[in-house]
């Protein structure tokens, strides 16, 4: 194996690099290995970006709706213990999702900030290069129907949806889900949890009503490996939106 001092190319790289930077290789073989590893890393990053773009293209919108693009942990206001708990849970979910998998459900009345905190988790993960989709059950069903109309089985869309790092299913139970919708939700939760990919759920239903709607099996999968159920049991924030000092 050639030493860096004996290699013309490596010597040139060494001279070009600022003094405080030490090259992560000292032989030609190590340099090649390093280049290959960097190439593989870049390929994985591009594949991640493509995955996000493919689902966004099918849904015809960005992974997180523009309304919630600016939602963060920092601009979530805490006025009671419930909100403090919800914020701390959301932060801990986000940090777990940086390197692992955890499922969660945010349940509560309209306007209590379920989407805000789910988007804060999503925005945080997007910054770390993860792929995130927050989508209503109704939009999942429309995209599926559109793909049936195009003569596809819907399998491609479901596969793409199941491959993003975090999928948050919004407005579960807003419309009484049909049998077909329940089957689709089962499939999504099954596939994602089997491949250790996280599922988030946002709903106005309480735990019992969700269990009735989705069945015990899905709820078991949602809560396995430390999955969390967080209740948002305070009044709507919506009257504050647009007020001075409140976050829009
Ligand atoms: N604690 C909070 N601090 C700052 N903004 C908040 C807070 N709670 C909610 N909001 C804001 O209030 C609006 C409504 O919140 P959000 O859409 O998250 O409600 P939701 O719980 O998802 O309601 P729904 O069940 O109707 O979908 C959003 O603009 C959100 O950013
Ligand atoms: Mg909502």
The model's pLDDT over 33-68, given as tens digits with 9 standing for 90+, comes to: 999 999 999 988 888 888 888 888 878 778 898 889
Q: Ligand 1, residues 113, 200, 206: which to mutate, most atoms within 8 A of Cβ?
A: 113
- Residue 244 pLDDT > 60: no
- Which of these ranges, 59-63, 118-122, 170-174, 236-240, has the smallest mean pLDDT? 59-63
19-26: average pLDDT: 82
- Residue 247 pLDDT > 50: no
Rounded CA gap, 78 and 101, in Å? Answer: 26
pLDDT of the residue at 243: 66
113-137: average pLDDT: 95
pLDDT of the residue at 59: 80
Q: Fold for domain 62-234?
A: Rossmann fold (3.40.50)
Distance 83 CA to ligand 1 centre (A): 11
* Residues lining ligand 1, Cβ inside 6 A: 71, 76-77, 83, 110-116, 202, 204, 237-238, 241, 247
- Residue 165 pLDDT > 90: yes
The whole-model pTM stands at 0.83
Q: Residue of the nearest CA to atom 31 in ligand 1?
A: 116
Q: Residue of the nearest CA to atom 27 in ligand 1?
A: 110
12-41: average pLDDT: 86
pLDDT grade for 71, boundaries at 50, 70 and 90: very high
Which alpha helices (H) appear in 62-154, and where do they start and end? 81-99, 114-127, 137-149
Helices 179-194/155-163 angle, 10° precision: 40
Question: Which residues does residue 170 pair with via DSSP β-bridges, in sequence order?
Answer: 136
Distance 248 CA to ligand 1 centre (A): 9
φ/ψ region of 60 (left if φ > 0, alpha if ψ in -120 to 50, else beta) reads left
pLDDT of the residue at 6: 54
180 is written with which tokens? Answer: 């077909």
Q: Walk across the sheet containing 166-172 and list its strands.
A: 132-136, 166-172, 198-203, 104-108, 228-232
243: Cβ contacts below 8 Å, ≥ 6 apart: none
Rounded CA gap, 221 and 234, in Å? Answer: 27
Q: Residue of the nearest CA to atom 8 in ligand 1?
A: 113
133-141: average pLDDT: 93
69-84: average pLDDT: 95
Question: Which residues does residue 198 pair with via DSSP β-bridges, in sequence order?
Answer: 166
66: Cβ contacts below 8 Å, ≥ 6 apart: none
Q: Which bound ligand lies closest to the C-alpha atom of 119?
A: 1
The model's pLDDT over 183-225, given as tens digits with 9 standing for 90+, comes to: 899 999 999 999 999 999 999 999 999 999 999 989 988 887 7
Which atom of ligand 1 approaches the CA of 83 most closely? 1
107: Cβ contacts below 8 Å, ≥ 6 apart: 114, 202, 203, 204, 205, 206, 207, 210, 229, 230, 231, 232
Fill in the DSSP letter of residue 218.
H
- Which of these ranges, 115-129, 143-157, 209-223, has the smallest mean pLDDT? 143-157
- Residue 137 pLDDT > 80: yes
The burial class, CB within 10 Å (0-12 / 13-18 / 19+), for 153 is exposed
List the domain boundaries for the chain: 62-234
Greater pLDDT, 73 or 149: 73
């Amino acid at each position: 194996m050639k030493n860096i001092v004996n290699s013309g190319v490596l010597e040139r790289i060494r001279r070009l690099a600022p003094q405080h930077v030490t090259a992560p290789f000292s032989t030609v073989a190590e340099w090649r290995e390093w280049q290959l590893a960097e190439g593989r890393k870049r390929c994985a990053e591009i594949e991640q970006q493509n995955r996000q773009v493919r689902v966004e293209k099918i849904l015809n919108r960005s992974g997180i709706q523009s309304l919630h693009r600016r939602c963060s942990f920092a601009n979530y206001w805490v006025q009671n213990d419930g909100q403090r708990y919800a914020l701390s849970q959301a932060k801990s979910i986000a940090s777990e999702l940086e390197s692992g998998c955890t499922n969660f459900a945010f349940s509560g009345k309209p306007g209590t900030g379920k989407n805000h905190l789910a988007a804060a988790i999503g925005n945080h993960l997007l910054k770390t290069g993860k792929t995130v989709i927050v989508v209503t059950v109704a939009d999942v069903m429309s995209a599926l129907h559109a793909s049936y109309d195009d003569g596809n089985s819907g399998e491609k869309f479901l596969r793409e949806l199941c491959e993003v790092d975090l999928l948050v299913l919004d407005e579960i139970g807003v419309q009484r889900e049909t049998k077909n919708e329940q089957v689709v939700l089962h499939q999504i939760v099954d596939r994602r949890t089997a491949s250790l990919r996280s599922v988030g759920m946002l709903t106005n239903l309480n735990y019992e009503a969700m269990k009735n709607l989705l069945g015990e099996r899905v709820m078991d999968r949602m809560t396995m490996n430390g999955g969390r159920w967080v209740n948002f049991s305070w009044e709507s924030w919506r009257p504050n939106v647009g007020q001075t000092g409140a976050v829009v």
